[in-house]
Amino acid sequence: MEENFETAAPEGASDTPAVSEAAAVSETPSSAPSRHRQEKVGLVTSDKMQKTVVVRVERQVKHPKYRRYIRRRTKFMAHDELGAHIGDIVRIIETRPLSARKRWRVAEIVQKAR
């Protein structure tokens, strides 16, 4: 008498794993999780350095007591490969530290100076 030692899969089950192909492709162990980088738009106030510009970004905050909006300005040093000049409006994005004070880079020149 001949016996069959193979185990049969229950009905409805298939030989493929339960994880879909799209999920398996997107979960590669070598890819790092993508992090959303901050973006700001500001005015170039200095371009006297090589491949670096100073960008002034304005924001409005509400005064805690008087409830009026106040303009606050912040200066960022940004890496510039695009050749922005004083008066240009540029979009900068956060990046890894490039020097002691430079942690931003120019993504695009939104508007050229007149």
pLDDT digits (tens, 9 = 90+) for 21-61: 555 444 545 556 778 999 999 999 999 999 999 999 999 99
The answer to whether position 19 is within a domain reads: no
Per the structure block, which two tokens stand in for 24? Answer: 């398996």
The answer to whether position 69 is within a domain reads: yes
The answer to whether position 8 is within a domain reads: no
Contact present, 102 and 77 (Cβ < 8 Å):
yes
User: Domain tally for the chain?
Assistant: 1
Domain region containing 71: 36-111
CATH code for position 66? 2.40.50.140
The answer, yes or no, to whether residue 10 has pLDDT greater than 90, is no
The answer to whether position 16 is within a domain reads: no
The answer to whether position 29 is within a domain reads: no
DSSP designation for 62: E
The answer to whether position 86 is within a domain reads: yes
pLDDT at 37: 94
The answer to whether position 14 is within a domain reads: no
Contact present, 87 and 114 (Cβ < 8 Å):
yes
pLDDT tens digits, one per residue of 82-104: 999 999 999 999 999 999 999 99
Per the structure block, which two tokens stand in for 96? Answer: 């890894």
| pLDDT, mean of residues 75-82 | 97
pLDDT at 1: 55
Q: How confident is the model at residue 77 (pLDDT cuts 50, 70, 90)?
A: very high
Beta strands in 1-114 (DSSP E): 39-49, 52-62, 69-79, 89-94, 102-111
The answer to whether position 45 is within a domain reads: yes
Q: What global pTM score does this model have? A: 0.68
